[in-house]
Amino acid sequence: AGLVTVGGGIGGTILYAKWDNKFRAAVENNVPYSDWLLGLALGPPSPKSGLPIKKQVRILEESLTSSAKATLQAIGAQEAALQAITRHTLKLKEAMEAEEKSAQWKDLEAALADRTGAVNDAETALSKANEALDSLKSVIDKSKGLKVSAVRPLVLAAEENLHNMVVDLDKVVTKVHSAESEAKIVSQYSELVNEAKQQFQREVSSLTPEIQANWKGLTGKLSSDDLNALIAHAHRRIDQLNRELAEQRVREQIHIDAALEQQKLEDQKALEKAVSTALQHIKEEARLEQERKLSELREVMEAEMRTQLRRQAAAHTDHVRDVLKVQEQELRVDAEQVLSSKMLEQETRYRQLSQEQLDNFTLDMNTAYARLKGMEEAIDSHVVAEEEARKAHQLWLSVEALNYTLKTANADIPTVPLEGAAQAVRDSCHDSDFALALSSALPEESLHRGVYSEASLRARFNSLRSLARRVALIDESHNSLYQYFLSYLQAALLFEEKQEAPPAQLCSEDLDPFKLLSYASYCLEHGDLELAAKLVNQLRGEARRVVEDWLTEARLTLETRQVVSLLSAYANAVGLGTTQAP
């Protein structure tokens, strides 16, 4: 029995915790291990949503306020419509009972206009109130879906207010409908009375046309014939009405039976509708009463459950405290044993690690010292290499300066003397025998005077070519004037190509002075000064004497350019040799 009681209590706690998140949180905070049990049975708790709950409460309050306001306006409009209908009905009754007066009918028309406006306003207000009540009902349903205990009293109060507003609104609407039905009957009766009056007036007018419509008070003016005619017509009319009344009674009995049957059906429908509405209101009141009782019962059960949980938590806490004390003693003994063994093990390991660290430190120090020595040697070699590179760069700059000096010649003026640039080269390579030998190989004349540029030599050769053609037939023996005349004549009559590309190999026919001059002109125009000098060197006789000075200058320029080219190649080679790889 005790086990069943405990199981039932635990099951009830789990079920109630599933329904109420606040109760679940209270159980998890007060009972140890309850969070694990509830999480295993119900899953993780739903996340807290304080802000949405506050927002929903605010929305519910605003909707309740707006619904109450709309309902009060609708009830006021319905009551105003009821009063307007009642006033119009009274005015209509007064107009039927009294004589016709324009003021009464004006009051009746004004009452009808007030009634129409009040009814329209009542219908508009009723529509708005129904919309507000529907919105309030949807907000209440949404608030119920949250299943939060903090919102439940407010939701219950909102449901009660909604029910009261619906009941009050239905009552006043029923009153308005009843008043409208009564007014409709009075209006129909008024129409029948007016129609009967008009019919009687027409009949009297047909008998006595001379009598005006408003003949009341004219009795003394009527003749006996008129009175007899009226009395006879009245008797005939009474007999006719009696016969019609008998027929009408038969017809009306049938109509009354049908009307009673129809009225029974309408009364039955109205009764069913009223019963349905009342039953719905009673059910809603019963449901609200049940909700109130459930809320009260829930509060009582929660209080009882909290009391029981506190007791169980206190008993469980005492039991856990005793168990923890025993476990603490056992764990302390085990921990002391484990600690002593671990301390001994750690001490032995510490000694081993200390010795290993000392050995590793000694090895690292030796490695670092060897690396330091290597770095010192590398730095020394780098310094030497930097010095060699600086010298090589200085030599390259000196050679470039010498090469630039060769380009300073103008059209008819040789370059500046090369002595300064050559001395700079010698200063830059005083420890290189090869470079010193090359710098010493520069011609003396180029050092003191300078050399002509290739353009200057080309222009000078073009001016000497015509003179060399004129003396082409004169050999070394300096022939007679007749031979000079023939040579001039040949130069004047012979039209060879001014420039002609030289063949790869020269034959005896190519040694003709005119061809040699054409070959040399072609080479000079294409920048081959060396080949042009070789071709000019093949001239003989007076032509060789004419170009001797030009050939000397060309040879001087070629020798100087060759030495400078060798020095530049040497400087570049030395610079590449001193360049260190990254």
* Average pLDDT over every residue of 531-549: 74
Q: Which residues contact 9 (CB under 8 A, 6 or more apart)?
A: 308
Q: What pLDDT is recorded for position 116?
A: 78
pLDDT exceeds 50 at position 321 = yes
What pTM does this model have? Answer: 0.34
pLDDT exceeds 60 at position 491 = no
Percent of the chain's residues with pLDDT above 70: 56
* Average pLDDT over every residue of 13-22: 62
Rounded CA separation 309/307 (Å): 5
Q: Which of 390-394, 510-514, 551-555 has the highest mean pLDDT?
A: 551-555
Residue 369 tokens, joined: 């010292």
Residue 127 tokens, joined: 């529509």
* Average pLDDT over every residue of 16-45: 64
Rounded CA separation 290/288 (Å): 5
Q: Minimal CA–CA distance to 554: which of 468, 471, 454, 463?
A: 454
* DSSP H helical ranges for 429-547: 433-440, 444-448, 454-470, 481-493, 513-525, 529-536, 542-546
* Average pLDDT over every residue of 441-451: 71
* Average pLDDT over every residue of 220-249: 70
Of the two residues 58 and 21, the one the predictor is more confident about is 58
Residue 475 tokens, joined: 């050999």
Of the two residues 325 and 28, the one the predictor is more confident about is 325
pLDDT exceeds 80 at position 319 = yes
Q: What pLDDT is recorded for position 582?
A: 45
* Average pLDDT over every residue of 450-463: 74
pLDDT band at 50 (very low <50, low <70, confident <90, very high): very low
Of the two residues 214 and 149, the one the predictor is more confident about is 149
Residue 501 tokens, joined: 């590309």
Rounded CA separation 578/582 (Å): 13
Q: Which of 123-132, 161-170, 357-366, 426-435 has the lowest mean pLDDT?
A: 426-435
pLDDT exceeds 70 at position 468 = no
* Average pLDDT over every residue of 57-84: 76
* DSSP H helical ranges for 33-49: 34-42
Q: Report, in this order, helix, strand and coil percent for the chain, each rounded to 5.
A: 85, 0, 15
Q: Which of 196-200, 405-409, 483-487, 528-532 has the lowest mean pLDDT?
A: 483-487
Residue 569 CB-half CA count within 13 A? 8
pLDDT exceeds 50 at position 442 = yes
Q: What pLDDT is recorded for position 52?
A: 61
pLDDT exceeds 70 at position 412 = no
Of the two residues 214 and 194, the one the predictor is more confident about is 194
| Exposure letters 117-132 (e unless 16+ CB within 10 A, then b) | ebbebbeebbebbeeb
Q: What pLDDT is recorded for position 454?
A: 76
Of the two residues 398 and 325, the one the predictor is more confident about is 325
Residue 23 tokens, joined: 């109760």
Q: What pLDDT is recorded for position 576?
A: 74
| Exposure letters 327-347 (e unless 16+ CB within 10 A, then b) | eeeeeeeeeeeeeeeeeeeee
Burial class (CB in 10 A: 0-12, 13-18, 19+), 164: middle
Rounded CA separation 410/405 (Å): 12
What are the residue boundaries of the structural domains of the chain, listed by start? 49-206, 389-578
Residue 428 tokens, joined: 């830059």
Percent of the chain's residues with pLDDT above 90: 0
* Average pLDDT over every residue of 186-213: 61
pLDDT band at 318 (very low <50, low <70, confident <90, very high): confident
> Is the Cβ–Cβ distance between 60 and 158 less than 8 Å?
yes
For domain 49-206, the CATH class is mainly alpha
> Is the Cβ–Cβ distance between 137 and 162 less than 8 Å?
yes
| Average predicted confidence (pLDDT) for the chain | 71
551-576 pLDDT per residue, tens: 877 787 777 777 777 777 777 777 77
99-134 pLDDT per residue, tens: 555 566 666 667 777 777 777 887 887 778 778 777
Of the two residues 338 and 478, the one the predictor is more confident about is 338
pLDDT exceeds 60 at position 207 = no
Q: What pLDDT is recorded for position 47?
A: 47
Rounded CA separation 76/69 (Å): 11
pLDDT exceeds 50 at position 51 = no
pLDDT band at 535 (very low <50, low <70, confident <90, very high): confident
Q: What pLDDT is recorded for position 437?
A: 73
